[in-house]
Structure 1
Amino acid sequence: MDKLTVDVVCVGSGVGGCAAAATAAHAGASVLLVEKASLVGGVTAYSGGQVWIPGTRQQAELGITDTVEDGIAYLEELAGGWGDPERTANLVRAAKEALEYFEAEHGFAARVIKDLPDYYYPHFPHAAADGRYVEPEEIDLETLGELGPLLRRSPIGSSGGGLGKDGVDGSVGGRFVQMGEGLAAHFLHAAQRAGVEIWTRSPARELVIEDGRVTGVVVSRDGEDVVVAARKGVVLATGGYDWNPDLVHRFEGVLDAHGSAAPAGIEGDHLVMAAPAGAAISYQPASRNVMQVGFPTGIIDEDGHDLHSSYRAVNPHEIIVNRSGRRFANESFYPALSAAMQTLDGADHSLPNWPCWLVFDAAYLEVGAARAPSLELAVSGDTIAEVAEAAGIDPVALEETVTRYNAMCAEGRDSEWGRGEQPWSMELFTDSETTADHNPSLGPISRPPFYAARMSRVQFGIGSAGLSVNKDAQVTTYAGDPIEGLYAVGNSAGRDDLGAALQSGVANMRGLAYGYLAGRHAASR
């Protein structure tokens, strides 16, 4: 078996792995980054590319008043007691420091996503109306040299999804990239510039453990196993476990109709490899997870999976209902739907809101065609009752629900669930804002034919479970002791630091911050 010795090995090429690699290499360590796929960029490349960080220079330059302390307070408000205040504060402060470090030392360029509020603005005192999301400036893939053609490309293009509103290149496969592709490219470039060696098609198989300390990793390369000794540490940045059905069932409580928007290879490798080292698993209740609802896209990845996309019912002429024919949450705001999906009816031990269906009419196909699920996934009929019967939904209740919804549309307000009144959703997914006399998310379901499409649960590389880490991103045991030589960053690190705090941009922030902390700590050992 071949052998190689370096200071630090980083496993995974998303923002967390690349941030750790670039930081350690810039501090003088010899670093190898291994990626199991033939493409680089990981889950980061498929993300929206936004990084949630309060109190940045970018905010100040736009005249937006904010502080790191206010951002920390906001996350603690969202956590509802499930988080660790000390680690929350450490993480947010590290994120700001990491942003400044990568700008100064690695040429990273970021800008504020203007006019985009926090998820829960204005409902929480420390929520911000604007300025906490930064995204990468566009980057020319030619700067990556031979890695440029290997960057994982998002199925929706480099400015899809609405997050790169000031961007210029929305084509799939364009030379200049931004959003998730841009974020991945910037940090890959940082790793390259720092002298990191990068291997693709090189899955990490197992950790080398000696006397309770992680001293390296076994990597498969060109059909042969290579023992890579790591003098200073191994950083696990492998994402979540979306494509491992056993782990999805165990930690997310999902049995059927499951899909993912994450790329191939996100299979929980970090959990499998760290278990023999005595690593603890940090777990948040599935009712507080970030799983969304959506539909298969028909795009097949390299492992044969049908990639899914999330869906938010923000257009008029559509609602989401359960088998009883009832709406059960604000369809335009995924945290509300996600929590409602996990509601357990203690009387009959059922999940009353799962499965669920998107119900819409012919008028919807005119205004929401770009986001509509394939009609091959839907049943149709000339009446609401016909559609309900075909889908397996209570027909009488669905007719009542549609009648009640249509009446609220005429009034211009969703008095049941407040749809269209969440500023984050409306700013991100519609072209017009909600005002006192106008709600762009409401419109009657009244023009036949009518449709119902059963929805899937959709993951994004973020799980309810991950490896327990301390403030330096060191993996810990159940006793709370750090495992020498082992780190976990990004979505491989458990979310108990922030607890129940659901907030867009936090996943990329955790990758950036923990990658920076892990790389710095490992290099100093």
Structure 2
Amino acid sequence: MNSGGSIHWDEEVDVLVFGAGAAGMTAALIAHHEGLDVLLCEKTDAVGGITSTSGGTTWVPGTQLSVDAGVPDSVDDARRFLQSVVGERGGDEAREAFLQSGPLAIDELQRISDVKFVAAAAHPDYVTGPGAAFGGRALAPLPFDARVLDKDFARVRPPRKEFMGLGGMMVNRSDLGALLSPFGSFSNFRRTVEVVGRYVIDRMRFPRGTQLVMGNALAARLFYSLRKRGVAVRFETPLVELVREQGRVTGAVVGSRDGKQRRIGARRGVVLATGGVTRHPALRKQLFPAAAQPLSLSPDTHTGDGVGSALAVDARLENGGDSPGLWMPCSIRRSPGGDDSVWPHIILDRAKPGLIAVNSRGERFVNESGSYHDFVMGMLRDDGHGPSVPAHLIVDADFIRDYGLGLLMPGRSRARVAAFERAGYLIKGDTLAALAAKLNVDAAGLARTVETYNRDAALGNDPAFGRGSSPMSRFNGDAAQKPNPCIRPLGKGPYYAVTVWPADLACSAGLSGNANGELLDVNGNVIPGLFACGNDLASIFRGTYPGPGTTLGPAIVFGWRVAKYMAGKLDDAASHSLTRKDACMNDLP
């Protein structure tokens, strides 16, 4: 909405934030901490967005947490690393701002809020290159006891149902082994009783388990911090349109559950953090490859409200560089009732020895142990024969026993394997030819592929794709497999397969902004009063995916930068860093 005169506001605040994911909640929290009057508007009835259903890992180089974890990281190393990964794709100023502000943002969140992280001692960057880190950059949110939220716990979006056990129990990765084999040892049994017992008690009072981990813990920690400080959070309040007066965005029109619209003024500015373009009906078709359009891991409500409203006031859209989306390969277990289960193949199976991925020609097309994003980039790559969509992960019976496959957890239960077969999720073939026929894959091509793979795998080699050659792939493999933790031959039949499809977990395409999160118009000029962070803002990595948490890291850091800038404290924060003992280590200005 463009206004030629003075607007009558139904309400007026300093800062108006749209979207209660990690980015929006960080911006609201820091703006309030700096003494600004803040209103956070959330379209749905719960906070969290894609953060709540994510792994929660947050990639921020050079923090004090890396020192505390015994794996000190430096911003200078990260700068060299990103230069090798992103190269000349642009966005240098924004990436430098991210590097400089990252340690400050994390340090302040740790000090003033209930947001707590720990740096992973071992969680390698996804790409090799100068300055790459094996640990220290990937920050994991600490588990959170959501009982302190009381009735507000219902306001935290649940994780994906596939990542919960017993209908609502979240499980730490460290507890997974005990729960999968509760009678394997006394310690396994004791830990299983502790975890399940806590969950049973929780369900007497709450709709799901209150021991939160991963992204759900991060979202809940941010929300709890907002609640403790009395920051106004208004649910079921979608952004309808932005209000612009004399070139400046001065507020917005919002909806409400009663169907009435209100005009809210924003003296310092409006912040867009609504989840990006992933489900915008027009932009998804315009930007995403056709093969990747059907499936998304983002919430259904991420319909691009922020991006669409900004484009209506002449904001500039970036296509995402190398890729408009950031991807995960996913398998789908169809349900007769329509409540399908979608499983992202992240770390539990693809890098393990004895699995190959093939396309319809029966040929391998990618390093199976690469990052989930790079795996899908391989699926979408057109080598003249069309993209490798869908693809099929093929294993033998021993692999199922040792590692599981997708939704099927490891073990020897024939009944469970048979149940997944009957559901059509797991495809079985007593021979490779039989499996190829069921998958509609070229049988001769598959036979050649397995013969070549097995010959090289017997020596621990993968000359075709270099599987097991990077620290990340070796870390996610099986250390007991020698000499290569990611490679062993496929044995005799029967063989099993699941089919995987590309799905976006976030977007790289988004609104064009500067280092302060101020949005730019189609001519490259700042739109006064309009800011963005999170997935609404184009990725600073330009379609590359450097390491674990490279969506949440910038989301939080730019949420922090936007709030500091709006409060006039961004320069003060940078100056303050010079007095801290770790300033030299982090190479801060």
Verify the 8 A CA contact 2:426 2:497 in the aligned structure 1. yes
Distance 1:340 1:448, change over 3 A: same
Verify the 8 A CA contact 2:69 2:118 in the aligned structure 1. no
Further displaced range: 73-82 or 239-248: 239-248
Verify the 8 A CA contact 1:234 1:485 in the aligned structure 2. yes
The answer for the alignment partner of 1:518 in structure 2 is 562
Give, in whole Å, the separation in 2 of the partners of 1:466 and 1:412: 42
The answer for the alignment partner of 1:35 in structure 2 is 42
Distance 1:298 1:188, change over 3 A: farther
Verify the 8 A CA contact 2:292 2:503 in the aligned structure 1. no
1:13 aligns with 2:13: no
The alpha carbon displacement at 1:6 in A equals 1.5
Counterpart code for 2:430: D
Counterpart code for 1:380: K
Distance 1:506 1:401, change over 3 A: same
Further displaced range: 135-144 or 226-235: 135-144
Give the unaligned 5+ runs of structure 1.
none
Equivalent of 2:529 in 478, 485, 495? 485
1:342 aligns with 2:342: no
Equivalent of 1:131 in 115, 136, 151? 136
The alpha carbon displacement at 1:306 in A equals 5.8
Q: Deviations over 1:208-229 (max 9, x none)?
A: 2222221212222122222222
Give, in whole Å, the separation in 2 of the partners of 1:372 and 1:426: 23
The alpha carbon displacement at 1:78 in A equals 0.6
Distance 1:269 1:425, change over 3 A: farther
Counterpart code for 1:322: N
The answer for the alignment partner of 1:290 in structure 2 is 326
1:407 aligns with 2:412: no
Give, in whole Å, the separation in 2 of the partners of 1:131 and 1:444: 34
The alpha carbon displacement at 1:239 in A equals 1.3
1:207 aligns with 2:214: no
The answer for the alignment partner of 1:151 in structure 2 is 156
Equivalent of 1:332 in 350, 364, 369? 369
Give, in whole Å, the separation in 2 of the partners of 1:197 and 1:465: 30
Give, in whole Å, the separation in 2 of the partners of 1:300 and 1:183: 34
Give, in whole Å, the separation in 2 of the partners of 1:52 and 1:164: 24
Give, in whole Å, the separation in 1 of the partners of 2:135 and 2:261: 50
1:321 aligns with 2:358: yes
Q: Deviations over 1:254-305 (max 9, x none)?
A: 346732222331222222111111100122245574212111256999x978
1:218 aligns with 2:266: no
1:433 aligns with 2:479: yes
Counterpart code for 1:400: R
Give, in whole Å, the separation in 2 of the partners of 1:190 and 1:299: 39
Query: Aligned Cα RMSD in Å?
Result: 3.0
Distance 1:78 1:458, change over 3 A: same
Q: Deviations over 1:226-258 (max 9, x none)?
A: 222212211111113333454333222134673
SS of alignment partner, residue 180 of structure 1: helix
The alpha carbon displacement at 1:326 in A equals 0.7
Counterpart code for 2:511: L
The answer for the alignment partner of 2:86 in structure 1 is 79
1:500 aligns with 2:544: yes
Q: Deviations over 1:284-332 (max 9, x none)?
A: 245574212111256999x978645235512333211111111011112
Distance 1:480 1:143, change over 3 A: farther
1:459 aligns with 2:459: no
The alpha carbon displacement at 1:448 in A equals 2.7
Q: Deviations over 1:90-128 (max 9, x none)?
A: 1121121111111222243221112222222xx312111
Distance 1:293 1:161, change over 3 A: farther
Distance 1:162 1:246, change over 3 A: farther
Verify the 8 A CA contact 2:325 2:509 in the aligned structure 1. no
1:228 aligns with 2:264: yes
Structure ID, larger Rg: 2
Distance 1:98 1:159, change over 3 A: farther
SS of alignment partner, residue 401 of structure 1: helix
Q: Deviations over 1:380-416 (max 9, x none)?
A: 3322122222322111011111122222332223232
Give, in whole Å, the separation in 2 of the partners of 1:165 and 1:514: 34
Verify the 8 A CA contact 2:275 2:304 in the aligned structure 1. yes
1:385 aligns with 2:433: yes
TM-score for the superposition, normalised by structure 2? 0.80
The answer for the alignment partner of 2:122 in structure 1 is 115
TM-score for the superposition, normalised by structure 1? 0.89
Give the unaligned 5+ runs of structure 2.
1-7, 179-190, 200-207, 409-419, 570-589
1:140 aligns with 2:145: yes
Further displaced range: 393-402 or 416-425: 416-425
Distance 1:188 1:164, change over 3 A: farther
The answer for the alignment partner of 2:3 in structure 1 is none
Distance 1:324 1:245, change over 3 A: farther
Verify the 8 A CA contact 1:140 1:177 in the aligned structure 2. yes
SS of alignment partner, residue 19 of structure 1: helix
Counterpart code for 1:521: Y
